[in-house]
Structure 1
Amino acid sequence: MTRRAVVIGVGHYLPDRVVPNSYFESTLDTSDDWIQSRSGIQRRHFAAEGQTTSELATHAALAALADAGLVADDIDAIILATSTADLTFPSAATMVQSALGMKKGFAFDLQAVCAGFVYALSTANAMILSGQAKRMLVIGAETFSRIMDWTDRSTCVLFGDGAGALVIEAQDGTGTAADRGILSTDLNSDGQYKDLLYVDGGVSTQTTGHLRMQGNQVFRHAVEKLASSAETALEKAGLTAADVDWVVPHQANIRIISGTAKKMGLSMDRVVVTVQDHGNTSAASIPLALSVGRDRGQINPGDLIVTEAIGGGLAWGAVVLRW
């Protein structure tokens, strides 16, 4: 028998405040048409004043636990993928652990920007396969509205806040691609591209920064690297794009999403798209899309799913899993 990390629960949370594209028209040289034509985004959610990343993550975690029919003490570990933690330390994950009333196990944050959830899911998979944990919460949560430069129309209109979570559990499989659970992962990074997407401040520089992005350059790298990583992960699992039921990509930009699908030889009717409603929620976007896709009835048990993401670093990767 082969141990697999199987998804047994999923949930998400979005802040109450919905911000349409028209919100930006009074302060920036932009319009709803301009934003939609370049990104596909129509609206996004912003956290309320005082609402933290760990709070969003806790709501998503509770939804995922309820979906799995579990309580916090059934969980051995929490990994929270975020670039916008509440404090420098301790980790936002330990704050979620406390909010859930979880008295055992361990919790930590993982930071790989928009690729964070793929990295977190890969890390959780390794921990389950090694026997370090039996059940884990893997969360992506962000409050990117806190690091926007509201005078930069090329970035501030693209991002939103939210959280999504999965509960994954160790189960026995046959060792074939027919198994439920995570079948393969592929992770990559290349630090020479740091200046394409970064925040121009941080603790060691004693500055508070804002997100900066060379959008055209990020786009150029994204389609090629995302398609390549997805194909590599599929190859590791002994599968091809023809076997895929759903691609659930990082929801950054509809042009990147459609370009990656085209490069993989897949039609857009096999891609879960939520970017129009959420904007780019960074590490939260994939679990958000998985939860929404399941709620829509798109994702069903037994479906083969490819998730892929790219973010600052540059860091990118893909996960192949059977729902």
Structure 2
Amino acid sequence: MPQTREAVIAATGLFTPDQSVSNAELVTAFNAYVDRFNADNAAGIAAGEIEALQPSSVEFVEKASGIKSRFVLDKSGILDPARMTPHLPERSNDEISILAEIAVRAAEDAIARWGKPASQIDAVLCAASNMQRPYPAMAIEVQQALGIGGFAFDMNVACSSATFGIKTAADFIASGSCRAVLIVNPEVCSAHLNFKDRDSHFIFGDVATAVIVEVADEADGGWDILGTRLKTEFSNNIRNNFGFLNRPARPTQALDSAQANGEAADPLTDRLFVQQGRKVFKDVVPMVSDMIVDHAGELGIDPTGLKRMWLHQANINMNQFIGRKVLGREPEPHENVIILDEYANTSSAGSIIAFHLHNDGFESGDTGLICSFGAGYSAGTVFVRKR
């Protein structure tokens, strides 16, 4: 039998949009929408036929999530109380798509850090929570833009897409079918977020990340992948129903018309991101904590001795709880990296942003954990060791 080849995370890349929205800006826009809605529906509210909307506050947002700001591709549309969705005009088929464009930006950063030509990459995986279209695959468009040969395909496991992509790439390396694999995680989360929902309008931001996984005997430095594990359990507690089988006629025009007229609901509201946050917390936190500890034991790693954890950036309370459960104590800030205060929840990209920005201070042999969890439910663990 052929010898299994070890895989290495050789480089990572990051694209961050130029525009950001603070909690204060977001809450001001949301509360203006609330005032407008309640005024337009005053008679129905007085008659008990319509429930009045409640305003939000910066304090509520930060306490509920730990988020202080988020990067977005378009700020003006989000902060317009008459619209409350980003302006992202549809591009022609001859132009690079938005998702591919930001993926390429992150990939170019990773390739530059890798220091090798893109022609040495054998496969491209686009792993993200919401693809811009069903086909042609976003990954193939990215592949073409970067001048990469081999093959490419898309994969979607919501917030766990990046770790599932790393696992897939490592398996390609182990089998001998690839020498190097590029995983891109472009997330335009603002486009599937309901900015009219008090409980979730603050959650997401836009970003793109990239990871290059390479065969160990050709890698210069980087991080040995000690082990990967994936887990899924079906749940409706995080859901996005948008799809071609349930789309309204002319959805963009219908959405713009409804929002411009200040209607109580628009035809896309139930096809955007929805979640039952308390149920998600109750289900996911113990599932992920136990998965990490069990996987570490299987690999002969003491989880309490991990130098750093780069967890999915969903909610600060979830991350803190998982950190305490895994380390058996209150983690130090440098041990349980938090970047959602600046980036918010960026779905599959969150743990990769944390890893990309905060992997300093490691000596050869130090171990860390990249971990994801999200809709599905889905979860992924990737234990790494500094080479």
The residue that corresponds to 1:118 in the other structure is: 163
**Is 1:316 matched with 2:316?**
no
1:44 and 2:87 equivalent?
no
Q: How does 1:122-271 map to 2 (within 5 A)?
A: 122-172=167-217, 180-191=223-234, 193=235, 195-207=236-248, 209-264=271-326, 265-266=328-329, 267-269=331-333, 270-271=335-336
Q: Deviation at 1:186?
A: 1.5
Q: How many residues are aligned here?
A: 313
Q: TM-score, normalized by length of structure 1? A: 0.91
Q: Counting strand residues as a fraction of each chain, which structure ranks higher?
A: 1
Q: C-alpha displacement at 1:163, in angstroms?
A: 1.2
Offset at residue 298 of structure 1 (A): 4.8
Query: How much does 1:279 deviate?
Result: 0.4
What percentage of aligned pairs have identical amino acids? 28
Which amino acid is the alignment partner of residue 194 of structure 2?
A: D
Within 2, Cα distance between the matches of 1:145 and 1:41?
15
CA RMSD of aligned residues (A): 1.9
Question: Given residue 385 of structure 2, which amino acid in structure 1 is its aligned partner?
Answer: R
Cα distance change, pair 134–34 in 1 and its aligned pair in 2 (3 A) = same
Distance change (3 Å), C-alpha of 1:298 and 1:161? farther
Where 1:204 maps in the other structure, the secondary structure is coil
Does 242-251 or 200-209 show the bigger shift?
200-209
Matched, 1:31 2:33: no
Q: Is the 8 A contact 1:115 1:310 kept in 2?
A: yes
Amino acid at match of 1:317: G
Task: Look at both structures and tell me which one has the larger radius of gyration over its CA atoms.
Answer: 2
* Residues 310 and 355 in structure 2, CA contact (< 8 A), matched pair in contact too: yes
Paired AA for residue 16 in structure 1: D
Change (3 A) 1:210 1:199: same
Of residues 223-232 and 49-58 in structure 1, the stretch that sits farther from structure 2 once superposed is 49-58
Say whether residues 1:3 and 2:44 are aligned partners: no
- Separation in 2 of the partners of 1:262 and 1:18? 31
CA contact (8 A) 2:130 2:158 kept: no
1:300 Cα deviation after fit:
5.9
CA deviations on 1:76-125 (whole Å, 9 max, x unpaired) are 111121122222211111111112122x1111111000111111111111
Taking a change above 3 Å as real, the CA distance of residues 235 and 311 of structure 1, as seen in their structure-2 partners, is same
Does the 8 Å contact 1:2/1:172 carry over to 2?
Answer: no
In the alignment, which residue of structure 1 is the partner of 2:99? 53
CA shift digits 1:118-167 (9 cap, x unpaired) = 11111111111011111111222210111111111211201111011111
Q: How big is each residue's C-alpha offset from its partner over 1:226-281, in whole Å with a ceiling of 9 and x where there is no partner?
A: 11121122122111213311100000111000000011125133111111010000
Q: Is the 8 A contact 1:140 1:285 kept in 2?
A: no
Give the letter aligned to residue 132 of structure 1: S
CA contact 1:57–1:141 (8 Å) conserved in 2: yes
Measure how far apart 1:185 and its partner are.
1.4
| Paired amino acid for 2:150 | G
Equivalent residue letter for 2:332:
M
Contact 1:24–1:30 (Cα < 8 Å) also in 2: no
CA distance in structure 2 between the aligned counterparts of 1:106 and 1:232, rounded to whole angstroms: 34
- Relative distance call for 1:316 and 1:301 in structure 2 (3 A) is same
Whether 2:125 is the aligned partner of 1:79: answer: yes
Local SS of the residue matching 1:23: helix
Shift of residue 2, structure 1, vs aligned partner: 5.7
Q: Secondary structure at the match of 2:6?
A: strand
Structure 1 window deviating more from structure 2 (21-30 vs 151-160): it is 21-30
